[in-house]
Amino acid sequence: MKKPHITDILLLVMSAALCIGVKLLFHACAPKEDGSWMACHWAEQAVFAASLGMSLTAFVRLFLDRRARAGAALGMSITAAVTAFIPGVFIRLCMMNDMRCHAVMRPAAVILCVLIVICGIADFVLARKEAAA
């Protein structure tokens, strides 16, 4: 394994933070009194699945050559961009905007996804510059 770039570490940390955070820190609303889940729970599950995929990709790419790493980073950016739209757009959240899924889960997930997008693109651009040099 070659010495990782700062962008490699950031991509791994942020996708892992999204994966763990969406389950433990900024999770969606609790189940109803009758034990059934509200719609936001399925948004949480979808974000978890996508972020788990991104975390594994971020880990595996550490062992790849520079060109493959840059390609994987671009792929992660695209996945993160799509993941940002899961809560509230692809899967509807709860009725009240002050509920946990709107107030905490959605903004935290969107911010982390945007950071992954920026980092992925930065890594891709850096790799191209390095190749050109």
Partner 1 sequence: MKQNLAYRNLKAKPVRTAILVVLTALLSLTVCGGTLLVSSLRTGLSSLEARLGADIMVVPYEAKTKSNLESVVLQGNPGYFYMDMSRYEKIASREGVGQISAQFFLASTSSGCCSIPVQIIGFDPETDFTITPWIRRSYGGALEPGDIVVGNDLNAFVGDTLTFYGVDCRVAAKLDKTGTYYDAAVFTSVETIQQLIASSLDKGMNDFAGIDPERVVSAVLINTADGYSIEEVLNDINIHVKKVKAVQTKEMIAGISDSLRGTSDLIGVLIAAVWVLGLVILLLAFTMSVNERRREFAVLRVIGASQGKLAAVVMQEAMLTGLCGAGIGTGLALIGVAAFRSALEAQLGLPFLLPGAGRICLIAVLSILAVLIAGTAAAAVSAYRISRIDTALILRGDNG
Residues β-bridged to residue 87: 91
Pick the piece of the chain touching partner 1 (CB under 8 A) from 50-58, 67-75, 77-85, 87-95: 87-95
Site for partner 1 in 5-64 (CB under 8 A): 29, 32-33, 38-39
End-to-end CA distance of the chain: 22
Pick the piece of the chain touching partner 1 (CB under 8 A) from 14-22, 44-52, 64-72, 107-115: 107-115
Residue 91 three-state SS:
strand
The C-alpha atoms of residue 123 and residue 36 are separated, in whole angstroms, by: 42
Length of the chain: 133
Site residues (CB under 8 A) for partner 1? Answer: 29, 32-33, 38-39, 92-99, 102-104, 107-108, 110-111
